[in-house]
Amino acid sequence: MYTAIRSTRVYDSDLAAYQAKTILLQGTSIEALLPYHASLPDHCVVIDVGDHYVLPGFIDGFSQIGAKEIGIRWEGEDGAETTQSDDLAPYRIIDSIYPFDAAFKEALANGVTVSHVASGPGSVIGAQTAIVKHDGVTVDEMAIKPSFGHAFSLGDIPKRTFKQQTNKPLTRMGIAASLRRYFDKHGAPANVFIRAYRGTDIDTALRLQEEYAFTLTLVHGTGATENQLNELKQRGASLFAGPMFQARERHEQQTLCPSFHKEVVLSGIPHAIISDHPTTSVRNLKLEAALAVREGLDEKHALNALTLTTAQCLGISDRTGSITAGKQADIAIWNGDPLSLTSSVTHTFVSGKLCYEKESEQR
């Protein structure tokens, strides 16, 4: 049983261009990319979407989706444990993901098919992260990688959280010391993700990377100077930037500006655009990219930062992140240029299954 999606605008990630193609799907995978007018096998359902834009499903490089449920407060907040974990059993975000969080549906309705889920920023030592697809009823079936990296958090939020809970200050020196203690005891995890905004915290992350030689991904990073970006590049680090589209509640957020995305790309660091949902809604992942384009980022890098580059950074580009024969069929169809502020998704496929279709009465 085959399905074919036919469009004059299928996105080619390598060429960063739209081309007339027919995408042949079988089961969970992209069987082949055929010429637009190719003859199709028997028993093939053809979905002709005319001039609509067909793109790989977006990947949210850093998110609390499912772990911090929307529309509810503490009852659905399971990504922010601020007590110490039992030494033998580090926290794993996979134990906190609720597949029926309404945000998963919102993600699909906005063409986002995969999230890298991490713990919240409240505690310095976070949890093992997981990479999940947005379709399924148990996290086990959703997980591409149930344990991928480990999330840590620096700066204003862990300081504030600690103060609220203990009425004692937590200093930046204390934060660095507790990270060293953790790495000394457990060894540095593979794939370290460090949340940091302010320059001082980015320096701390760089220092720790030098001391423990782990693979570093800096998350947020908006206060990074040109020197720090060069240093991150030399260390082979990645930068998961954003979200700029959020309220500025703290000192360290004064630097939020969509132009930062362009700076990261110019520095040559592998760059992903993230929502850190619900920091900004996963619905705004495209908006984040569009605002970056408004500030001068070219469209190719903007789209890559939502698809292929992110997949490469997360080690899942063998199966998703572009419309390529042999990869899983994670595909979103848009009724206009996906980087337009007013375009929206009409269909979303996750692993070949149609998981979202726009209501026809929704004009």
Partner 1 sequence: MNTVFRGADLYTVDADFTVIQSGDLYVANGKISAIGRHLNVPAGTKEVEAKGMVMTPGLIDIHTHVGIWAEVTEDVNDANEYSEPFTPLMEATDGIHLDHFSFQDAVRGGVTTVQTGAGSANPIGGIWSILKTAGGTLEERLLIKRSGLKGALGENPKNVFGQTYRKKPFTRMAVASIIRNGFLKALPYRHLAKEELSVDFQELWPFIEVLNGSMPLRLHCHRADDIATALRIADEFGVKLHLEHATEGYMMIDAIQKAGVAVTLGPFMMSASKYELRNSTPKSPALMDEAGIPFAIMTDHPFTPIQYLSVCAAEAVKYGLSSETALASITRTAAELAGISNRVGSLEVGKDADLAVWTGHPFATKTKLCATYINGSCAYHSNPQ
Residue 341 vs residues 2, 45, 168, 249, 318: alpha-carbon distances, Å: 34, 31, 45, 25, 30
Contacts to partner 1 from residues 85-104, by CB under 8 A: 102-103
Under the criterion CB under 8 A, does residue 157 sit at the interface with partner 1? no
Among 277, 301, 327, 347, binds partner 1 (CB under 8 A): 277
Number of residues that bind partner 1 (CB under 8 A): 36
Output the smallest distance, CB 29 to partner 1, in A.
Answer: 31
Residues 203-262 that bind partner 1 (CB under 8 A): 245-251, 253-254
Q: Which of 308, 298, 299, 359 minimizes the C-alpha distance to 330?
A: 308
Give me the DSSP letters along 19-74. Answer: EEEEEEEETTEEEEEEETT----SSEEEEE-TT-EEEEPEEEEEE-TTTB-TT-SG
Q: How far apart are CA 321 and CA 304, in angstroms?
A: 9
CB of 187 to partner 1, least distance (A): 35
Q: Give, as one character, the DSSP assignment of residue 285.
A: H
Closer residue to partner 1, CB minimum distance, 184 or 298: 298
Q: Which of residues 327-346 bind partner 1 (CB under 8 A)?
A: 337, 339-344
Tokens of 353: 């299954």
Q: Using the structure block, give the residue that is written with the tokens 């699909």.
A: 108
Per-residue binding letters, 41-70, with partner 1 (x by CB under 8 A): -----------------------------x
CB atoms closer than 10 angstroms to residue 335:
18
Does the protein bind partner 1 through residue 287 (CB under 8 A)?
yes
Closest CA to 257 of 206, 221, 231, 226: 221
Q: Which stretch binds partner 1 (CB under 8 A): 111-119, 273-281, 305-313, 318-326?
A: 273-281
Q: Among 169-177, 289-297, 308-316, 349-357, which window interacts with partner 1 (CB under 8 A)?
A: 289-297
| Closer residue to partner 1, CB minimum distance, 96 or 280 | 280
CB atoms within 10 A of CB 98: 16
DSSP conformational letter for 84: P
C-beta closer to partner 1: residue 135 or 252: 252
Cα distances (Å, whole numbers) of residue 22 to 40, 55, 210, 266: 9, 13, 48, 34
Task: State the nearest-atom distance from the C-beta of 73 to partner 1, in Å.
Answer: 6
Binding to partner 1 (CB under 8 A): which residues in 94-153?
102-103
Q: Which is nearer to partner 1, 186 or 294 (CB)?
A: 294
Quote the distance between the C-alpha of residue 277 and its chain's center. 9
Q: Could you say which of 144, 269, 293, 332 contacts partner 1 (CB under 8 A)?
A: 293
Q: Is 165 in the site for partner 1 (CB under 8 A)?
A: no
Q: Is 362 in the site for partner 1 (CB under 8 A)?
A: yes
Q: Return the ∠ at Cα 120 (arms to 330 and 189), rounded to 5°.
A: 80
Question: CB of 231: closest distance to partner 1 in angstroms?
Answer: 26
Asked whether position 71 contacts partner 1 by CB under 8 A, the answer is yes
Least gap, CB of 308 to partner 1 (angstroms): 21
119-153: burial string, b at 16+ Cβ within 10 Å, e else: bbbbbbbbbbbbbbbbbbeebeebbbbbbbbbbbb
Nearer to partner 1 (CB atom), residue 131 or residue 256: 256
Q: Binding residues for partner 1, per CB under 8 A? A: 70-73, 102-103, 245-251, 253-254, 277-278, 280-284, 287, 290-291, 293-294, 337, 339-344, 362-363
